[in-house]
Amino acid sequence: MVFDINEFLEAVSNVLDVIETDIFGVATNHSKRIAYFSNRIACALGLSPEIQYDLVALSILHDNGASLKILHDNLLGSSKSKQDFIESRKEHCTIGEYNVSSFPFLTSPEDIILYHHEKFDGSGFFGLRESEIPLMSQLINLADTLDLKYDLRSVFNNESLKDEIIEFIKDQSGKEFEPGLVKIAVQTISRNEFWEHFSDDHIYEVLRQITPPYKRQMSYEEIRDITKIFSHIIDAKSTFTMNHSSGLAERMSRMAIFYGIDGDEYWKLMIASDLHDLGKLGVSNLILDKPGQLTDAEFNIIKEHPVIAKESLEKVQGFDEISEWAYNHHEKINGSGYPRGLSADELDFNSRLLACLDIYQALGEDRPYRRAMDHDNAIIILQQMAQEGLIDAEITKDIAEQLLNFQHHN
């Protein structure tokens, strides 16, 4: 199929930005502003469309490591103090770089996310200085630093704020920023029209317009190499789900082969397994990791995560079935599931299979309120649910037999 990687990046960027809601208390469109700012400077530098594309993609993904549970576990204080804490930890750079290692960039960039907090004078996390720092890392750092220090949404028609930003950049020439980059940046951002599109109302559409198009012929098997990246980001959201999507995908593979599912349908199921919990990036860890029973309000928030996944994935051409299966993975065949309360005749086989395997996988993992179950005890729970008319009885029977001696490989 012709896969529009821009569409997929747009879909994922919306959910990655939701992480900021959890960590910082407000959805900021931070990654989109970093992408737009760095791209405009790249244009002024005369960088190629291929480099510009990779820069936009890397800007969108630059803080993907911030989803890691250990980075925002037990964070206290204001949104700003939380933000400062995350940005001061080099783990989010290391993890973020690892996560994007399989992304199909156009110019084979290396270590851009790893070094996006390096400073020209060598005072960054890894002590790189001057020309040792990749140019794309320098561009992302410039944009990132300014967006964390100033409200870039408010600069348009605000001469005093614009002047303050320019003075800060000049002051950091030879310290945080490379002097030649400072000169180009100051020339570019001095124009009032540069700041016109940084508002939340404009940033999404203008980023779409300036991002070089990137469509390529890809099989669903090849696309799956990309979605595995995001399964790691999703699973890192909570200590209790560190292997959830990967474990689910392995079990889905076993069951799909058993059912004779192959070709595109097989790989679509693998992609759905990777991305079914995409919406959980938008759920607070205070809820995901709560040791006690959820309140009605908290459970209502949990019930939104399939909706978030659906709204993101359905925008990607060729993901119609994938988004539907992800949407349905908490539905029950008696109509008692969520978010839509679908009944048996509204749930296709693959939706039922994903739902059963999601429960089975979750039962085999530690949760705040219980220890992980072995296969036999997990199957007892599934069989009870099947007897109550909640999940498919035949699929439950097959899972009991086929996954008896299954071993997960991390």
The per-residue pLDDT for 84 is 53
Residue 27 pLDDT exceeds 80: no
Least confident of 33-37, 70-74, 283-287, 349-353: 70-74
Which residue did the predictor score with more confidence, 232 or 384? Answer: 384
pLDDT digits (tens, 9 = 90+) for 130-184: 999 999 999 999 999 999 899 999 999 999 999 999 999 999 999 999 999 999 9
* Residue 14, token pair as written in the block: 């919306």
- Mean pLDDT, residues 361-375 taken together: 88
Closest CA to 137 of 165, 117, 120: 117
| Residue 26 banded pLDDT, cuts 50, 70, 90 | very low
- Mean pLDDT, residues 381-405 taken together: 97
Q: What is the largest CA-CA distance in the chain?
A: 70
| Residue linked to tokens 């980001």 | 233
- Helix, strand, or coil (residue 288): helix
Domains and CATH numbers, the chain: 2-215 (1.10.3210.10), 220-402 (1.10.3210.10)
* Residue 219, token pair as written in the block: 């099989």
- Mean pLDDT, residues 100-123 taken together: 95
- Mean pLDDT, residues 330-341 taken together: 98
Name 64's Cβ contacts closer than 8 Å, sequence gap at least 6: 16, 95, 96, 99, 100, 113, 233
- Helix, strand, or coil (residue 215): strand
Q: Say which amino acid occupies 352.
A: R
The pair phi, psi for residue 216, each rounded to 5°, is -150, 155
The per-residue pLDDT for 74 is 43
C-alpha angle 82-85-86 in degrees, rounded to nearest 5: 90
**With the CA atoms of 22, 28, 29 and 30 taken in that order, what torsion angle do they form, in degrees rounded to the nearest 10?**
-90
pLDDT digits (tens, 9 = 90+) for 255-314: 999 999 999 999 999 999 999 999 988 787 788 888 888 999 999 999 999 999 999 999
